Amino acid sequence: MSTSSVLHVGLEVDGAGAHPAAWRAAARSSSDALGPARLRDVVAAAENAGVTFVTFDDSLVPPAAGPAGRLDAVTRAAYVAPLTSRIGLVPLVHPAVTEPFHVASQLAALDHASLGRGGWFVGAGDVPGARRALDRPVAAGADLLDETADVVTVVRDLWDSWEDDAVVRDSATGRYVDRDRLHYVDFASGGEGLPAGPSSRGTADGVRAPFTVKGPSIVPRSPQGQLVVVGRAGTVPGGLLDVALVATTDAAARAREDGAPLVVVDLAVTLDAAGRLGADRRAELDGLAGVPVPATWTGSAVDLVDVLLGLRGVVDGVRLLPSELDVDLPVLVRDVLPALRVARAVPTPRPGATLRDTLGLPRPTNRHVAAAATV
């Protein structure tokens, strides 16, 4: 059991909030819905409040129920990287629709740009619209689980394809990189048939397309060595995860048995705010949404603090999904996180600390160095 009395608080910062009708009640004008100001303000507020990490949800097509849509999650995370110094930045990238080599190099660059605060929220489930937009088969079901495991494996391989000290800048011999400290990954995925591309147009929906990656990466090993890999329990093998996300605390024990070092539970919240009860706000949002919306926790800041304090020892953290960022985030920042700090229930991320440092996860030794050491 890796449970401790410390509770990490994560925050989903996508769009106007996690509720599909959030945009309709949002106070902001439409012109900056996708602009950088909102993103900057939200992440800065979360960092100031001591949030351990933020996640950036993503999708390829506009969400069915709603608003405008979203910018590429990695771009958003990279944008806020130089504006922050303590908070972890965890964009969602879906393994079924992105080239593993791109995923590896972009996320490694994010880790460099943020000085070690990068993470990867491994996307799961169907990707609506992907087949039509990307002109490639998109895996589903068991194929998707297999493909996800392969993609996470090869991305982790690529992150280790440069040893930490591969950049030698040896002026005397003119060697910038010591090629003996670079390693091919030579990965061939599972799956049958043709690789993704125009030739795979005849492949049925839901069937994975195989891929190969030779490597090495084009980006040197990043500050954390391996970024913090966050994924939903059951969609990525636990041994490949650093943080397993669970929907309820009942699933925590299972996720731990599956090998995930840390377990974080998702909690969607609609708080009492601006003189209105959370339950009333929630009912109004549901009425506006026009689509079924999963239940959220509703109540006061004081009650939420009690709930969160009760999660200590059960899970390692909670990822909060506020219904409306404009309304719920100020309450979290003003009333909830300070109370948790007073109770010494949450860690205080330090400037310069990596996300691994803050989460208490060790920096992994490069597998090629570790292998050499055991010979």
Q: Looking at residues 229 to 258 of the shown chain, list those that interact with another protein (rule: CB under 8 A).
A: none
Residues 6+ away with beta carbon under 8 Å from 69: 34, 59, 61, 62, 63
Selected binder of another protein within 125, 165, 168, 176 (CB under 8 A): 176
Selected binder of another protein within 6, 140, 145, 167 (CB under 8 A): 167
Degrees (nearest 5) of the Cα angle 104, 109, 115?
125
Residue 129 or 237 having the CB closest to another protein? 129
Distance (Å, whole) CA 263 – CA 10: 12
Residue 131 or 334 having the CB closest to another protein? 131
- 3-class SS of residue 373: helix
State yes or no: residue 153 binds another protein (CB under 8 A).
Answer: no
Give the closest residue to 90 by CA, choosing from 315, 250, 211, 262: 262
State yes or no: residue 190 binds another protein (CB under 8 A).
Answer: no
State yes or no: residue 80 binds another protein (CB under 8 A).
Answer: yes
Find the shortest distance in angstroms from Cβ 97 to another protein.
Answer: 8
Distance (Å, whole) CA 24 – CA 314: 36
- Contact criterion met (CB below 8 Å) for 95 and 103: yes
Selected binder of another protein within 78, 233, 331, 355 (CB under 8 A): 78
Residue 171 or 374 having the CB closest to another protein? 171
Distance (Å, whole) CA 48 – CA 87: 9
State yes or no: residue 108 binds another protein (CB under 8 A).
Answer: yes
Indicate the residue type of 80.
V
Distance (Å, whole) CA 126 – CA 350: 37
Distance (Å, whole) CA 262 – CA 317: 8
Site pattern 273..302 for another protein (x: CB under 8 A): ---------------x-x------------
What residues numbered 132-151 form the site for another protein, per CB under 8 A? 132-136
Give the closest residue to 157 by CA, choosing from 241, 233, 226: 226
State yes or no: residue 74 binds another protein (CB under 8 A).
Answer: yes
Selected binder of another protein within 8, 19, 70, 94 (CB under 8 A): 70
State yes or no: residue 30 binds another protein (CB under 8 A).
Answer: yes
Find the shortest distance in angstroms from Cβ 115 to another protein.
Answer: 8
